[in-house]
Structure 1
Amino acid sequence: MLNKILLLFVALRIASVFIVRTWYVPDEYWQSLEVAHRLAFGYGHLTWEWTKGIRSYVYPALIAGIYKFLALIKLDCVELLVLLPRILQACLSAYSDYRFYVWSNRSKWSAFVLATSWFWFYTASRTLANTLETSLTVIALSYFPWASAESTTFLWPVALSVFVRPTSAIPWIPLCLYHVKKSSHPVWELLLKRYLLIAFTIGSFSIAVDSFLHGSLIVSPYEFLRFNIIKGIGSLYGEHPWYWYFNVGLPTVLGIGSIPFLFACVETIRHRQVYKERSILLAAIVFTLFIYSLLQHKEFRFILQILPLCLYVSADHLSRWSRKASGKLVWFAAIGILVGNIIPAGYLSVVHQRGALEVMSSLQSIARNYKDEFDQPAKLIFLLPCHTTPLQSHIHHNTTMRFLRCEPNFENVDNYVDEADTFYKDPMSWIRKNLPVHPRSALPTHVVAFDSLEPKIKDFLSVYKQKESFFHSDFTTDKIGANIVIYERFDPTKATTTAAPPVQEEQPAEQDVEG
């Protein structure tokens, strides 16, 4: 008989696949689906992380296997290429949810706080390495030997998580130190026969997969640390003050759940001997936040891995509190937590940044049908901040596409500015230098840009007409507008004479991406 709680979580996470239809971060596509598409179909773009070998192919290879199977049975349509990997991740997240429920002694509050967590709902079905990392962490925690400290089963998902994303090791440092201290086995025996053996087994598998697909022997966790930590490449994508995770990051991720979590923290600190398991988890949470605070580049998703630890602490506190509280107060707390999570989950899952995905459906149709209508293939250019949209995973047609790049300064060039920033400093100057002049048919057939850019490139757009517009965000910046617009070039055979775009005669080699 199937477990009802497991079925509940499976239904919830699969439902999120269809509810969460907004863009979050580029890595959801460019570090998973786009890589898998390149592996399965042989065309598409790989970002610098893959050319430099700092990412593991284990997760994309799994998705590529799905793509290959779809191609084999001739069902490799875009809809399934997008949905099936998300359903796979949703099912894995649902299983980790069930393991969380088992770990917390099947507490009703544990199921409730996990099912209602807005940030987990928002990310649990996304094809992010952080989501996979979090699922593996929860599964490992459910097997962690809190009482006997003898079992090492938990090390298998931990090792896999570390090779997929090396920073996964951070919260496990205090947990593994506790495990080693509590074990009755000699330290050398535990480390040599269990820790190193499991790490060697998983590591050999991961290195073999990565080396085969990268084309040369490579240890991706080492390259990850070398580029992101030693060279500090991550800081190029934004910096925050050291305390950001404490006053913004974690409170935002927890949302209204910050209230029971703070009460649980105070209670745990005051009665450390009573709540030993919670004390260990708090130590892992604080240690992780401290280490991440030392890094300049910070994001909400980086602490997704410790969200289940926070929720466990909160759920345990709520379970004990509800035994003494009145029924009305318990219902009030439950409804407050539910509503407080529904609001951000609903807005961010359905409204905020939805244009980046909606525009891809239209572009897919254009890529496939434009040649039939105008007797020439479509050529798309994305004049957007780099990686604002997916690419081939949502087009799946070998069409010429061009987008603004933002690679780090690997050559240590003085006063280096990446292509995207160069464009936004002077859009028309970049267009004159990088887009062809004659004939008009050499120009991109379609331009994709935010509506806020239109006044700055209106001369270039004189030979284009607005085809479609998609709402993207209520919050605009100097680079991000409210809507994403598709502009289509006038058909040269039908359009009346118009002024040619003011671009230079030089025509440098194009940097188009085939696929």
Structure 2
Amino acid sequence: MSTRPKSQFDDQKSQWKRSEVLTCIFLLAWRIFNAWNVQTFFQPDEYFQSLEPAWRSAFGSESGAWITWEWKEQLRSSIHPYIFTSLYSSHALIYDLLKFSKHDAAEALIVAPKNLQAVFAAMMDYFTFRLAGNVYERGTLSHWLVLGLSVMSPWQWFCSTRTFSNCLETTLTVVALATWPWAWFMHYESGGLRPLTELKPALRPNLKTGQLTPRLQAIPQEYQANAVDLPKSLSRCVVDIGPGSPTGLKRALTAAAIACILRPTNVVIWAAVSAVSLSMSQDMSKTTRFVTVAMKSGIQVLVVAVGMDWKYFGFFTVPAFKFVYFNIVQSLAVFYGRNRADYYLTEGLPLLLTTFLPLAIVGMWQSLKLDVTRADPGHVLEQRIRFCLAVAVLAAVISLSIVAHKEVRFIYPLLPMLHVLAAKPLVGACSALSLRKRTTVMSMLAAIIISLNMAIAIYVSLVHQRGVLDVMHYLRHQHESENPHMSSWWQMSALDTINITTIGFFMPCHSTPWRSHLVYPSIHAWALTCEPPIHIPLSERDQYLDEADQFYADPESWIILHMNEVEEISVDKHRSALTVGDSFLNDGGRRPWPHYLVFFEQLEPTLRDVLQGSAYRESWRGFNTHWHDDWRRQGDVVVWELYA
């Protein structure tokens, strides 16, 4: 049987496939290493909008998970928590089958979400690389530089492996952008690209059979005789024509639809991308086809999402609509902070981009100016994609700036696009130098940027706000040491044989993780809450104080009003069962004193005065921050324990 001799095309294809496989392996290993070395706290939503509802869904209402008001009001889609529900359920089953010790099972349950999120983070890096391959020539310095920017980004290191819905939203957004059929939308006569209707059949190697087969391609006439010699600058312009939609459009729109279900504000990005793509297409048949596929994909995703929410909440609801109603119409988001209109420009983007900010600014400026002086198809396609990405970034920043409550993670989905745009000016600046100078300059820049980024990444992931996580490990290990004969992390039977550990957190609400780190249902804890004024008229909200605000307004008075008398504290009291959501008040409407009190160092003088002469003694103190913008969270994390 005769075999076709390998061509240069085959060798290049094989080499590139190997390169991509090695890149994927590296990215996965890098992000797993990244996930294991993020040991600091960022924002509560990392736990309370994903892991806590997932824990309750996996292990039931008696598991001690803290369900916040957003879930009680159905503001969040259950898609994200269900991912971790499956993870928790499967891992718990495996640990029971393999007879893991209670300690090992608890540690593994804490690490499992990190590992899964590391996979999503690696996907984000890889599809950013894929997106860059659609924009720039594959394998060029610009292409690889985008991957370097993503891998060495301090923000990516700090945030990408955290279990925020924003992280999954960003991954889905860049997956959709990388599979978006750019060439299909943007091939028309202007700028040297021909309408697809004028193209003639050309020969192209079939990778399965090894034979040359006719395919319609959007390539210049001079290359249609022998597609094997197609230069790399035109390889991104190849578009297959067939009945139905282009390859990738349905996948892109499906990923985009899921991202919009997770975070409704993601709609702004896709409105901009779709509008620019269709305006550059100027083809009504493509517009019709796009609308058809978009409606089908959107309806399919919506039906699945509604079904999952129905199962999770027990009745029909559409969280995206409620999210908009509560946060925009009722302005409840303002309860958690109001920011300046220029926040994203002066704080958000600098935090997101850090050392790459100047490159991104220049890249945005260059991309918004379409260069019509060069007519080769590869350059025109690059220009149009960069323009589309820049418009999407601009539209998202402007739209989100209108909303009063702003957070840097709300613009996280823009980061992959900004990395793609930032690569161009850096390569352009270096290309003006001689080869020798270029090598020297690139090496110096790389050393400086990598050093700065590593310093930032190490500090924010291993130092800043680590105490609020360390204290949860301490409390969990204390509970294990008090129950050496507990056979399983989930043991709930024969509670009289288990020493119940009770904990009270005198901290601003959601200052620590919860059940995802406490793990054991036999650890009963309470903390100060911060429920928003859901049913209070807008005119009366300025006077509203949540429980945490009331406490910090006058801690001593709050303790006198809401805790048992100090004289009644005894070492037997800590065995009473207290769980979030259960009644933890005795007949006098007061909380009993717990086994452990947890608070920030800032509160220590007040508690020393109030609890002077009691049986509480310091048992643990851990560094948390060198500084904090919230005065209530300043200093170390301190634990006091009741001693006999």
Q: Same fold (TM over 0.5)?
A: yes
1:122 aligns with 2:158: yes
Q: How does 1:298-377 map to 2 (within 5 A)?
A: 298-325=406-433, 326-370=438-482, 377=500
Distance 2:514 2:274 in 1: 40
1:421 aligns with 2:449: no
1:118–1:255 contact (8 Å) kept in structure 2:
yes
Given residue 558 of structure 2, which amino acid in structure 1 is its aligned partner? W
1:113 aligns with 2:265: no
Residue 46 of structure 2: which of 18, 28, 33 is its match? 28
Query: Aligned to 1:154, what secondary structure does the other structure show?
Result: helix
1:238 aligns with 2:337: yes
Residue 54 of structure 1: which of 45, 51, 75 is its match? 75
Distance 1:367 1:433 in 2: 29
CA deviation after TM superposition for structure 1 residue 271, in Å: 4.5
Aligned to 2:528: 404
Distance 1:7 1:322 in 2: 30
Cα deviations across residues 15-37 of structure 1 (Å, max 9, x unaligned)? 11111111011000111111111
2:370–2:387 contact (8 Å) kept in structure 1:
no
1:180–1:190 contact (8 Å) kept in structure 2:
no
Residue 503 of structure 2: which of 362, 380, 383 is its match? 380
1:487 aligns with 2:640: yes
Q: How does 1:80-229 map to 2 (within 5 A)?
A: 80-105=108-133, 106=139, 107-149=143-185, 151=246, 152=249, 153-181=251-279, 182=281, 184-186=283-285, 189-190=288-289, 192-229=291-328
Distance 1:29 1:13 in 2: 19
After TM superposition, the structure 1 stretch with the greater mean CA deviation from structure 2, 186-195 or 94-103, is: 186-195
Distance 2:159 2:626 in 1: 21
CA deviation after TM superposition for structure 1 residue 7, in Å: 1.2
Distance 1:269 1:67, change over 3 A: closer
Distance 1:146 1:36, change over 3 A: same
CA deviation after TM superposition for structure 1 residue 338, in Å: 1.6
Aligned to 1:459: 609
Distance 1:189 1:270, change over 3 A: closer
1:368–1:397 contact (8 Å) kept in structure 2:
no
Cα deviations across residues 477-505 of structure 1 (Å, max 9, x unaligned)? 420122101110122xxxxxxxxxxxxxx
Aligned to 2:518: 395
1:109–1:318 contact (8 Å) kept in structure 2:
no
CA deviation after TM superposition for structure 1 residue 220, in Å: 0.9
Distance 1:217 1:481 in 2: 44
After TM superposition, the structure 1 stretch with the greater mean CA deviation from structure 2, 28-37 or 142-151, is: 142-151
Distance 2:363 2:264 in 1: 29
Given residue 397 of structure 2, which amino acid in structure 1 is its aligned partner? L
Cα deviations across residues 394-441 of structure 1 (Å, max 9, x unaligned)? 011122211010010012174221000000001111112222234632
Cα deviations across residues 264-295 of structure 1 (Å, max 9, x unaligned)? 23333444446222121111111111011101
Residue 597 of structure 2: which of 437, 447, 469 is its match? 447
Q: Scaled by the length of structure 1, what TM-score is found?
A: 0.91
Structure 2 spans left out of the alignment, 5+ residues: 1-17, 134-138, 186-244, 373-379, 486-496, 574-591
1:58–1:206 contact (8 Å) kept in structure 2:
yes
Distance 1:417 1:356, change over 3 A: same
Q: Scaled by the length of structure 2, what TM-score is found?
A: 0.73
Q: Alignment length, in residue pairs?
A: 491
Distance 1:430 1:258 in 2: 46
Distance 1:146 1:317 in 2: 22
Distance 2:276 2:332 in 1: 33
Distance 1:248 1:192, change over 3 A: closer
1:14–1:87 contact (8 Å) kept in structure 2:
yes
1:57–1:213 contact (8 Å) kept in structure 2:
yes
2:277–2:388 contact (8 Å) kept in structure 1:
no
Aligned to 1:471: 623
1:85–1:127 contact (8 Å) kept in structure 2:
yes
Distance 1:354 1:280 in 2: 40
Aligned to 2:589: none
Aligned to 2:85: 64
Distance 2:309 2:498 in 1: 42
Distance 1:196 1:240 in 2: 36
Distance 2:342 2:640 in 1: 43
Q: How does 1:241-280 map to 2 (within 5 A)?
A: 241-273=340-372, 275-280=383-388
2:278–2:287 contact (8 Å) kept in structure 1:
no
Q: Percent identity?
A: 28
1:148–1:183 contact (8 Å) kept in structure 2:
no
2:158–2:460 contact (8 Å) kept in structure 1:
yes
CA deviation after TM superposition for structure 1 residue 192, in Å: 4.8
Distance 1:439 1:21 in 2: 35
Distance 1:369 1:330 in 2: 54
